[in-house]
Amino acid sequence: MNLPLTEARNTCGSADSQVVATKLAALSHPARIEILKHLSASRSCCCREVVDHLDLAQSTVSQHLKILVDAGLVRYEPDRQRSRYQVDREALAGLSASLTTLVNSCCSGC
Amino acid sequence: MNLPLTEARNTCGSADSQVVATKLAALSHPARIEILKHLSASRSCCCREVVDHLDLAQSTVSQHLKILVDAGLVRYEPDRQRSRYQVDREALAGLSASLTTLVNSCCSGC
DNA sequence: ATCGTCTATCGTCGATAAACGATGAATCTC
DNA sequence: GAGATTCATCGTTTATCGACGATAGACGAT
């Protein structure tokens, strides 16, 4: 597990904080967490599948998916009239690593 | 107008997702990430210290701190007329673990 | 007792998020 | 071709966030 983060120690790195914050914001909604779980359970999902699973309007689910895609946590691939959404495991692992790094930097100071 | 839905559907996230989402939401703001870093650098901080460090209004910083405290990521202890804020490292590590678990569950499906 | 400092909270305002229905494009199915 | 299905997007409404100034409470110092 190599961490690609080189400036994790920078206490003044507001740019870094901004990037991490944006990705965490994408995960800071229960519906989107559920979507992520569901996506990972199936190999790939179309929007309709998620709609059936979540009891939200189709437009709402589509927006949540878009937010996840924009954050780089989910990959999107149009497939005929369907859409195919897939968890970007590397990106998710990277975010997890970022948070771990933050936690470690918080715990190393004492 | 509260119709008790049957348990076939997931009403916008399980309780677990809600809890994790709330904590992630507390971290999904660059100012709060910076606050967390600053808190971990010092042993404990009063509000004024953070205000000097961050170039935000005192009331704004106080609100950010409250959000972090409400999320359970920071502990608060009134000390005379000052306040003492301190990173809850266990809670932070727990959140990191939750995210790691989510990532792992996403990666175990393939 | 009064002044200055440190806090938290209130009220406000603009911006953003979240949810929905409606619509149109693209694609199956018949 | 006609109708159904899937999907993203638009427009709208409501709720929440983020920031600030103002204010009041608590405390230390003078």
**HEC states along B33-62?**
HHHHHHHHHCCCECHHHHHHHHCCCHHHHH
- pLDDT of A92 > 70? The answer is yes
pLDDT at B52: 95
- Judge whether A106 lies within some domain: no
**Bases of strand D lying below 7 A from some protein CB:** 5-11, 17-23, 25-28
pLDDT at B62: 97
Using the CB atoms, write b or e for A64-101: b if 16+ within 10 Å: bbebbbebbbbbeeeeeeebebbbbbebbbbbbbbbbb
User: Which residues of chain A lie closer than 8 angstroms to B87, CB-CB?
Assistant: 106
- Judge whether A72 lies within some domain: yes
User: Which residues of chain B lie closer than 8 angstroms to A22, CB-CB?
Assistant: 28
Nearest Cα residue in chain B from A19: B30
Q: Each residue of A7-29: pLDDT tens digit?
A: 333 333 367 888 899 999 999 99
User: Which residue type does B26 have?
Assistant: A
- Judge whether B51 lies within some domain: yes
Side-chain half-sphere exposure of B26, counting CA atoms within 13 A: 22
- pLDDT of B8 > 90? The answer is no
- Judge whether A61 lies within some domain: yes
- pLDDT of B104 > 70? The answer is yes
Comparing A96 with A7, the larger pLDDT belongs to A96
Q: Which nucleotide is nearest to A79 (CA to C1')?
A: C27
Percent of chain B past pLDDT 70, that is, above it, reads 84
- pLDDT of A47 > 50? The answer is yes
- Judge whether A4 lies within some domain: no
- Judge whether B56 lies within some domain: yes
pLDDT at B12: 40
Strand partners, A79: A82
pLDDT at A17: 84
Nearest Cα residue in chain B from A54: B10
Interface contact flag, B41 A109, Cβ < 8 Å: yes
pLDDT at A110: 46
Degrees to nearest 5, angle at CA A81 with A79 and A84: 35
User: Which residues of chain B lie closer than 8 angstroms to A107, CB-CB?
Assistant: 40, 89, 92-93
**Region A86-105 average pLDDT:** 92
Domain that holds residue B38: 19-100
- Judge whether B7 lies within some domain: no
CA distance A61 to B19: 20
Q: Each residue of A58-88: pLDDT tens digit?
A: 999 999 999 999 999 999 999 999 999 999 9
Cβ pair A47, A83 in contact under 8 A: yes
| Tally of domains in chain A | 1
CA distance A52 to A57: 9
In angstroms, the CA of A62 and the C1' of D11 are apart by 16
Q: From residues 80-109 of B, which are strand D contacts by CB within 7 A?
A: 80-81
* Stated length of chain B: 110
Comparing B4 with B43, the larger pLDDT belongs to B43
Nearest Cα residue in chain A from B44: A110
CA distance A16 to A12: 9
Q: Each residue of B28-58: pLDDT tens digit?
A: 999 999 999 999 988 779 999 999 999 999 9
User: Which residue type does B86 have?
Assistant: Q
- Share of chain A residues as helix, strand and coil, in percent rounded to the nearest 5: 60, 10, 25
pLDDT at B108: 63
- Judge whether A16 lies within some domain: no
Cβ pair A73, A27 in contact under 8 A: yes
pLDDT at A73: 96
In CATH, what number is assigned to the domain containing residue B92? 1.10.10.10
- Compare CB distances from A21 to B12, B29, B100 and report the shortest one's residue: B29
Percent of chain A past pLDDT 90, that is, above it, reads 68
**Region B3-26 average pLDDT:** 66
Beta carbon pairs, A and B, within 8 Å: 139
**Region B10-22 average pLDDT:** 73
CA distance B103 to B97: 10
- pLDDT of A2 > 50? The answer is no
